[in-house]
Amino acid sequence: MPETFDAPLRALADTLTLEQKVRLLTGADVWSTAAEPAIGLRAMTLSDGPSGVRGPVWDERDPSLNLPSATALAASWDLDLTARYGATSAAEARRKGVHVVLGPTINLHRSPLGGRHFEAFSEDPMLTGALAAEYVLAVQRHGIGATPKHYVANDFETERYTADVALDDRALHELYLAPFEAAVAAGAWLVMSAYNAVHGVTMTENALLTTPLRTHWYFDGVVVSDWTAVRSTVAAACADQDLVMPGPDGPWGANLVAAVRAGAVPEARIDAKVLRLLRLASRVGALDVGGLDGDGTELGDSTTNGLPETARSAPYAERLGRDVAREVAAAGMVLVRNNGELPWPATGPGTIAVIGEAASHPRTQGGGSATVVVTETVSPLDGLRAALPGATVRAHPGVPVQTGLHPLPLTAMTDPVSGKAGLRARFLDDDGVELLSEHRTAAQLVYLGTVPDGAATIELSTGYTPDPESDDLRLGVAGVGPTRLELDAEVAFERVLGGAGTALGAALLTPDVASVPVTSSERVAVVVRQRIPRGDGDAMGLVAITLGTAPARRDRTELIEAAAELARTSDAAVVVVGTSSETESEGFDRETLALPGAQDELVRAVAAANPRTVVVVNSGGPVLLPWRNEVAAVLLAWFGGQELGHALADVLLGDAEPGGRLPTTWPAEQDDVPVLSTTPVDGVLRYDEGIHIGYRAWLRAGRRPAYPFGHGLGYTTWHLADLALEAAADGSVEVGVSVRNTGDRRGKQVVQVYLSRSDSTVERPVRWLAGFATVFADPGHRKPVRITLAPRAFSHWDGEWQIEPGVFTIHVGTSVESLSLSTNVTVSTARWAAHGARE
């Protein structure tokens, strides 16, 4: 940024003492930065993200829009839709007084076992970078900061705080850094440094924060740490790490002031960080003009995001947000098999069996920090019932999938203090003195940075009335710490709930569960008391506890037979299968790609009972579908956000096209996956496959997955023709192709361009994605499509970006394996020549 723009900010920073400056470099609490009234600097609120905006509290009293997860958005391959998704996130941020959204997550799907892939876009760096850039632009266009994360090589969860990634320079630049480069080029105001190390140095101290981030990409924004990722004073402060989160405690503060005074950290480093923070503040409207002018103008309330209170609380276009959620969910659904069953006619089949736990309790978002608290989710069952009032829609829960708890519904709880629907949550100190007592309307509670000081115990109490229709239930508690459950003043159990180790956030990510059978349908007075453990999680002030029910274990054969019987007596069956929060979430990688529980047996039995069986897959990443060729249709629905059920009905009934194409390869067998392990050995995870991940690795191994990268069926047919190239003076190549909808209904196609190189002195992927475009066309219509291949698409990394002169082949088609057109282009760094196209 030119000096002149920075001059007023520098002048402000110059008025601060060293203590004042250093104070700004650690968060004031879990979600906000420190204010400095002396220079008109307001606190800034940062919030997860990236699929919706939670806001500074994790609380059902301040709910959020739950957008579909990143894999769903990425599957749309639709940049315009991504821009609307980003704009919707910005609107949510404004509504919640949030200045900075902690997203997008742009690590890569290196192995399908990665636990957090629902939150990242793709296995391909080009697709990831294109989506990231669009997301960043859209969010920031509305004055909200975006935070591409986690820089860099945080593509797994195992030992995530400490693992060291060993990878070669080419893979680092061509794969893992590339999406960050695109996001920074789009003007990102922040980047989040990751927990892991690369080349033996933890990312918050790593030289990659300087080169290429600052020196080559000219990033002028703030590097915010992942939460608790800064572990040192001198090393991190000497690196290009700017902001330590969360606060107010942390390794900088007084230690950093002392280190500067002792000469261990140059004060100029501190000044550079403060300048970047002020630059961010000026971008998001957190720097008061009065402060800038130094005229002492009184500051506004720091919680209003610089907006007058009236603007912030003005009616929010909630409907619009929901419409975007619904549209993205449908646009990301990937139809991978269809024997002619779909779409159904507008009135649907007369009788439909809707089977599976996820049919009523779908996963609409992934677990962990990406979670937002939502008012209402539309399940597949709700969606189908709403869309087909004239049809008979009957449900069966299938086999158990979640081993955790479903939080008690509001209608089943009565707060003993207020008598209102809900429960009473109290925090007590060591002497049992009440520190906080509040009425809550949800039974899954997370206090992150809102636990009262001195709290030793959390207590939940409610009058619980079991649903008389659901037999065989267990009532229980999920959380971490010594826990006691009382029913009508009798102790039902007293146990220490563990969670996976003492790792940060275990209560949130891997809670333990204890439960007892529900023996009557009469209301019972429930009191839960849990000691708040003192552990690493304290750094975040985290308490997470759920009071809920689980189905008692029932005989799976009986359940499967009952489900199959329902299917047999219905015109068509929809089985919704998926992962559970115990098998796919932030905080751990997946152990297997198989569906949890007996879901494969369930699908097979239902398909045997009804040939019109449609399977809907509700997962964030790939799962194995061993029965995929035995069913009528398979639709991948991802974690489709709060409107998932409506979007599903839209797609099944043909009101919307299943618009998705795979952003990541789906294997047939786990053993076939070329790059699988996410487990560090002696603390080091080696990316030995170099530049060959995802479809590149499948192609190199000569193996065929169940469904290749880029694949997806719509409801119409297409013909691609007239491939033509045009070289531009800047070294880019324009690929022209005409796309004709040869079917009888409007549809969407994603035209994909790949490059290959047969005679190369450089090791290369068999082919690689170089560009793409989404096309919508009416039946019989032909659309001209132009896709620009930037010089970067032809480049490889060898200490710098280089182009090897010679002949590249351009392949055009509709998946990495379905490429009907090709032509050659001769590239010299100075001159480009196109040859005739082949069909």
Active site residues: 226
Q: How far is the CB of 594 from ligand BGC (least distance, A)?
A: 26
Q: Residue 428 and residue 455: Cα distance in Å, rounded?
A: 6
Q: How far is the CB of 406 from ligand BGC (least distance, A)?
A: 24
Nearer to ligand BGC, 27 or 383 (CB): 27
Single out the residue of 36, 92, 226, 589 in contact with ligand BGC (rule: CB under 6 A): 226
Cβ atoms of residues 110 and 681 within 8 Å: no
Single out the residue of 48, 59, 60, 512 in contact with ligand BGC (rule: CB under 6 A): 48
Q: How far is the CB of 241 from ligand BGC (least distance, A)?
A: 15
Please report the sign of the dihedral spanned by the C-alpha atoms of residue 408, residue 411, residue 416, residue 417. positive
Q: Residue 222's closest CA among 49, 83, 91, 27?
A: 27
Nearer to ligand BGC, 110 or 711 (CB): 110
For 671, counting Cβ atoms within 10 Å of its Cβ (0-12 exposed, 13-18 middle, 19+ buried), the class is exposed
Distances in Å between the Cα of 425 and the Cα atoms of 438, 444, 457, 515, 543 are 5, 11, 11, 19, 12
Element containing residue 560 per DSSP (H, E): helix 556-568
Element containing residue 645 per DSSP (H, E): helix 644-652
Scanning residues 459 to 498, which ones bind ligand BGC (CB under 6 A)? Answer: none
Q: How far is the CB of 367 from ligand BGC (least distance, A)?
A: 12
Take residue 52 and report the two structure tokens written for it: 């919706």
Cβ atoms of residues 723 and 823 within 8 Å: yes
Nearer to ligand BGC, 69 or 815 (CB): 69
Nearer to ligand BGC, 536 or 722 (CB): 536
Grouping H, G, I as helix, E, B as strand and the rest as coil, residue 310 is helix
10 Å Cβ neighbour count for 580? 20
Count H helices, E strands: the chain?
A: 20, 37
* 227 belongs to the binding site for ligand BGC (CB under 6 A): yes
* 54 belongs to the binding site for ligand BGC (CB under 6 A): no
Per-residue binding string, ligand BGC, 652-691, x by CB under 6 A, is: ----------------------------------------
Nearer to ligand BGC, 370 or 625 (CB): 370
The residue at minimum Cβ distance from ligand BGC is 369
Strand stretches in 306-390, DSSP E? 334-338, 351-355
φ/ψ bin of 553: left (φ > 0), alpha (ψ from -120 to 50), beta (otherwise):
beta
Residue 452 preceded by cis peptide, ω within 30: no
Nearer to ligand BGC, 158 or 809 (CB): 158
* 157 belongs to the binding site for ligand BGC (CB under 6 A): no
* 369 belongs to the binding site for ligand BGC (CB under 6 A): yes
Q: How far is the CB of 786 from ligand BGC (least distance, A)?
A: 37
Nearer to ligand BGC, 89 or 613 (CB): 89
Nearer to ligand BGC, 102 or 593 (CB): 102
Number of residues that bind ligand BGC (CB under 6 A): 6
Distances in Å between the Cα of 470 and the Cα atoms of 137, 277, 404, 465, 781 are 48, 54, 17, 12, 53
Which residues fall within 8 angstroms of residue 367, CB to CB, at 6 or more apart? 508, 509, 581, 584, 585, 586, 587
- Cα-only R_g, the chain: 27
Nearer to ligand BGC, 539 or 803 (CB): 539
* 102 belongs to the binding site for ligand BGC (CB under 6 A): yes
Q: How far is the CB of 586 from ligand BGC (least distance, A)?
A: 7
Q: Residue 265's closest CA among 17, 7, 9, 22?
A: 22
Cβ atoms of residues 50 and 106 within 8 Å: no
Q: How far is the CB of 782 from ligand BGC (least distance, A)?
A: 44
Take residue 183 and report the two structure tokens written for it: 């996001």
Q: How far is the CB of 596 from ligand BGC (least distance, A)?
A: 24
10 Å Cβ neighbour count for 303? 14
* 589 belongs to the binding site for ligand BGC (CB under 6 A): no
* 646 belongs to the binding site for ligand BGC (CB under 6 A): no
* 33 belongs to the binding site for ligand BGC (CB under 6 A): no
Q: Residue 246's closest CA among 588, 50, 504?
A: 504
Give residue 557's identity as a one-letter amino acid code.
T
Q: How far is the CB of 149 from ligand BGC (least distance, A)?
A: 6
**Angle (CA) 477 479 484, round 5°:** 50
Q: In the chain, what's the furthest Cα-to-Cα distance? A: 84
Cβ atoms of residues 98 and 145 within 8 Å: no
Provide the Cα torsion 603, 608, 612, 617; round to 10°: 10
Nearer to ligand BGC, 102 or 706 (CB): 102
Nearer to ligand BGC, 119 or 804 (CB): 119
Q: How far is the CB of 396 from ligand BGC (least distance, A)?
A: 37
Nearer to ligand BGC, 149 or 361 (CB): 149
- What is the per-residue DSSP string for 569-589? TSSEEEEEEE--TTTSBTTB-
* 149 belongs to the binding site for ligand BGC (CB under 6 A): yes
Beta bridge partners of 718: 741
Give residue 157's identity as a one-letter amino acid code.
E
Residues that bind ligand BGC (CB under 6 A): 48, 102, 149, 226-227, 369
